[in-house]
Amino acid sequence: MKKLSVLLAMLLTLSVTNSAMAHAEHDEASPRALSLKLVNKKDGATIYVTNGGGKVATTGATGKLFLVHGKARSEVALRSVGENAMETSSPAKMIPGTHARATITFADQKTATEDFIVK
């Protein structure tokens, strides 16, 4: 019984002392995450990039769109078009159920990746 009460006291002490403490270096506002939106078109796709509702420039960006449907796999390059859009550089047929992964590398070398399922 004494061992059990000592063990419970130690667990209670650890749970109280292990609580999260705020530090000045962690008080910065967290940056909003980039959001990618895939729009399926007749002969390909366009991906729009936003950050908290604002447009993110894609000038100088490169990317790839990986497509998987059943056992069929393909990869299509993305090119920058418009203010905040990336478009497939060659025809890419995406039927409902296709799994797509877009990877975009921006001019500042930051990368954004997002997975989609075509509806």
The neighbouring-strand residues paired with 103 are 64, 113
pLDDT of residue 30: 45
pLDDT of residue 18: 43
**pLDDT: which is higher, 6 or 112:** 112
Q: Over 80: is that where the pLDDT of 60 sits?
A: yes
- Rounded to whole angstroms, the Cα distance separating 51 from 61 reads 16
3-state secondary structure of 13: helix
3-state secondary structure of 50: strand
**Mean per-residue pLDDT for 55-66?**
95
Q: Over 70: is that where the pLDDT of 108 sits?
A: yes
Residue 76 neighbours by CB under 8 Å, 6+ apart: 44, 64, 65, 67, 88, 89, 90, 92
pLDDT tens digits for range 74-107: 999 999 998 999 999 998 888 999 999 999 999 9
The amino acid at 118? V
pLDDT of residue 6: 58
pLDDT tens digits for range 12-50: 555 544 444 454 454 444 455 889 999 998 888 999 999
